[in-house]
Amino acid sequence: AAVRASTSSRTDAGRVTMRFAFAVAYPDGTVDTFTEEHPTGQFTVEDHLGAFRDTGLEVQHDPHGLIGRGLYIAVKQP
């Protein structure tokens, strides 16, 4: 059996740290525990579009995308 608990905290502009704690129980009765920390970013559509444009790409944003989560299509012109 396995269990996961998580928390998150905002660190600064657009940054969130997610912390996961796991416990894994084995048939012999032993239990392992461990943690993971995942720094992430939360950015707006405009932030993403700007980042693509800043690298010289032409970009379009489809808010629905392939699975309803949005899609960025960027092309570098010759």
Asked whether the predicted pLDDT for residue 13 surpasses 80, the reply is: no
- 65: three-class secondary structure by DSSP: coil
Query: What pLDDT score was predicted for residue 78?
Result: 86
Residue 49 and residue 37 in one domain: no
Give the contacts of 23 (CB within 8 A, at least 6 positions apart). 2, 3, 31, 32, 33
Residue recorded with tokens 């525990």: 33
For residues 53-73, give the mean pLDDT: 97
Query: What pLDDT score was predicted for residue 12?
Result: 76
Domain enclosing residue 50, as ranges: 43-78
Residue 29 and residue 51 in one domain: no
**pLDDT interval class at 2 (50, 70, 90):** very high
Query: Higher-confidence residue: 35 or 78?
Result: 35
From CA 36, how far away is CA 12, in angstroms rounded? 20
Query: What pLDDT score was predicted for residue 60?
Result: 97
Query: What pLDDT score was predicted for residue 14?
Result: 78
